[in-house]
Structure 1
């Protein structure tokens, strides 16, 4: 599925609660995009972001919760 261009310039990013406090291995997501979950590497905030369909993101997060 291909999405139209999404403007992330005003996105409010939040860091994963599982990211370490040393600034490494940090994933950030933005919540205000219906149907999509933008995901980026906090070490490269001006780099590319992945646009994940919300349903796929939910499945991914639920599978991680099942592993713990």
Structure 2
């Protein structure tokens, strides 16, 4: 019985660490792309950086979903 409980605990720790690595990679990827986005004004870039830092998951997903669009005039 103890083996099942400890195995379940290790699985939970593994899943948690995997999720943490995914979130950190998502945030770093978003911040790198924001830094390289030449089409953004400084104020817009600052707002995106703040969004990603203050709300990491939502901010990074929002950047990849709507923020990474280039306007063609």
TM-score by length of 2: 0.30
Give the TM-score normalised by the residue count of structure 1: 0.31
| Structure possessing the higher radius of gyration over alpha carbons | 2
Higher relative contact order (CA 8 A, sep 6+): 2
Which structure's residues are more often strand, by fraction? 1
Q: Higher helix share goes to which structure?
A: 2
